[in-house]
Amino acid sequence: MELELNEEQRQFRDLIRQFTNREVRPVAREMEQSGTYPTRIVELMAEMGLFGLTVPTEFGGLGADTITLALVFEELSRGWMGIAGMIGSHGMACKLIAQHGTEAQRDLYLRELASGRRRSGLALTEPDAGSDLQGIKTVARLQGDHYVVSGTKTWITNARHSDPLPVLVKTDPDASPAHSGMSILLVAADTPGLLVTRDLGKLGYKGPETCEVVLDDAVVPAENLLGGIEGKGMSQAISGLQTGRVNIAARGVGVAHRALEEALSYTQEREAFGRPVADFQAVQMRLADMATKVQAARSLTWWAADRLDRGADAATESAMAKLFASEVALEASMESMRLHGGYGYSTEFEVERLYRDAPMMVIGEGTNDILRTVITKGLRNNGIPES
């Protein structure tokens, strides 16, 4: 691959960068601290077509390639990582419906999802099942022409605004292996028995709501079974994970890049012993290491994205990208805070927010320790990836 953007990708990146600099950066810290929902930003993103990133063009979406997706998530995360999360969860749901939905489901949902008139998320995680999705306890029992669904989902982004909300369930709780009895239901917002019970407090990743969702004998029409065939839910969910990991990796790159920007600016302006802090060799070494790792994380992310765009299996590459980029985000935000000294600990400076946002990338879309096992499995089965 060529690690260089084509003209269309470069122009799109510049458009998102301008939007972020104009509409997101000036308000992010204040809105995050006050807990204000970013309604205007969401409306502007809808006008730009960003809710249709993963929707095919035939349904009014952008049908963007994976590298372009990475560019969007990076640029938005340089302004406010939470905003990127709104698009990320929505985009995953759109991709599931586009790839696996019936013709009727695609016709019903995708155009409105692309425009932002509808929004969505993805309800996989449960209080006792995160990385081990086969351990979910939410059950859907078919009764005539509808399912009765009971269970609890947690850490669900966009939960209060999702219509429909794709929910991973067990349609055959006795199946062995367990994944063969799992399905995804598209649950409408007005479904009887669907309750968004509370917003979960978080260290960072603020802006989008992250909620607990209870399905209390929720009645879901059988026609809302994704793809129309039971037992496909696990494979459907996994099919989107490689793109999801590129999404998280790109967010990590965005947070790390912003941390580097803030550190470079501050150390050039701040003086100690009569000269800029950036003149000291110890500071220069830290800045050099940060910059090198940020660029390495970006290149790794684009490499994984390019593999997906070529139609290749990128389980190992996307896991590598997510693992490395998220760790770089964590390290860069900490280094930037240290270079800011006491000001890095102040809520008046951007770096403390970056420091609180970074851990989400280490945990989300598969914890990094789980991904290490995914990478090792890929090495043992397929050898060391070279291109």
How far, in Å, CA of 233 to CA of 224, rounded?
A: 13
Strand, helix or coil for residue 387: coil
Cβ-in-10-Å burial (0-12, 13-18, 19+) of 256 comes to: buried
Helical packing angle, 351-363 and 241-269, nearest 10°: 160
Q: How many helices (H) and strands (E) does the chain have?
A: 12, 8
Measured between alpha carbons, how far is 99 from 224 in angstroms, rounded to an integer?
A: 15
Q: Give the residue ranges of DSSP H helices in 169-314.
A: 233-239, 241-269, 281-309
Contacts of 138 (CB under 8 A, 6+ apart): 126, 149, 150, 151, 152, 153, 167, 168, 169, 170, 215
Asked about 365 being catalytic, the answer comes back as: yes
Distance CA 325, CA 301 (A): 8
Three-state DSSP class for residue 244: helix
| Candidate list 262, 327, 335, 365, residue with the active-site label | 365
Single out the residue of 155, 192, 180 nearest to residue 234, CA to CA: 180
Cα separation, 40 vs 158, in Å, equals 16
- The two beta strands, 271-272 and 194-199, are unpaired
> Whose CA is closest to 354, among 251, 206, 255?
255
Catalytic residue set: 365
